[in-house]
Amino acid sequence: MEKTIVLALGGNAILQPGQKGTYTEQLENVQKTCTSIAELLDNGYQIVITHGNGPQVGNIATQQIAARDKVPPMPLDICGSQTQGFMGYMIQQSLGNILRERGVNRPVVSLVTQVCVSEDDPAFKRPTKPVGGFVSKEEAEKIMAETGEKWVEDSGRGWRKVVYSPKPLEIVEMPVIKTLIKSGAIVISSGGGGIPVIKKDGKLQGVEAVIDKDRAASLMARQLAADMLVILTDVPRVAINYGKPDQRFLDRLTISEAEKFLKEGHFGEGSMLPKVEAAISFAGTGKEAVIASLDQVKEAIEGSAGTRFQPSKTYSSVS
């Protein structure tokens, strides 16, 4: 029986730091990522894919600001759906091509996915989720003065736009996702955390927000009863005292150990914090979650790389 793994791809799977974000650059990155995913499929894993969209949705927002006098700007949920479309298309096409080259006849499908949130979520009172690229403090202050947006300093890397990030409650298309998986399809869903919607008078309605993709991936993994959640990012493992002289990487954590580090404030709100919270939520089901770098996905699944979050009683290994 295949082991089901929900694979949450970070932004570096599609857009590397320092790149401009051209179609060619992003496609090349996606093709490399899909080669690694195909190797996992060779080993008998059932993979469900989700991905981030921070740089891409940020670029769309920037384009809208530049063209606002010529083309009406679209709300953030529409921008998110656009990224689900073009990013899902690149992953779907690239992975499909690689599988066919390997003689594997297996459908790959990208699903435009809505995720329900609560309109009473306290997150709607305070924007915290960073999107888009980094700018200087001076440029951020200029943008805020012109648009009323909120920009904040992010982990010493520059200033980024922040938006509302409510908690994901329900994946609307989950019955479809399960049907596609049962049919043998490789599914790409909940891209960018899913399109945020609320239920109002029995109808779904989009809202101006971005759902954290790792929290949505954890929800999807729990609802699918997956065997493992793998969150891929641009660092090899989770660290405490990140960026400081006494920085230490963590190999294995129990839920209680991870929660202790959370309370001590070791993880940045716009970076590692939601990843750790997502891993804890999934580990609460009695199965393991892993946070690792994109280039070590196979090793992370097999247990020789990344930070593993375990429900059982054990001790953290720190290096």
d(CA 243, CA 256): 24
Residue length of the chain: 319
* Two structure tokens written together for 298: 């196979």
Tokens 């949920």 correspond to 77
Q: Do the beta carbons of residue 22 and residue 241 sit within 8 Å?
A: no
Q: Is the dihedral of CA 243, 245, 251, 256 positive or negative?
A: negative
d(CA 306, CA 51): 18
Buried b / exposed e over 225-245, threshold 16 CB at 10 Å, is: ebbbbbbbbebbbbbbebeee
Q: Is the dihedral of CA 207, 68, 14, 290 positive or negative?
A: negative
- Which residues are marked as active site? 11-12, 129, 213, 275
d(CA 137, CA 116): 34
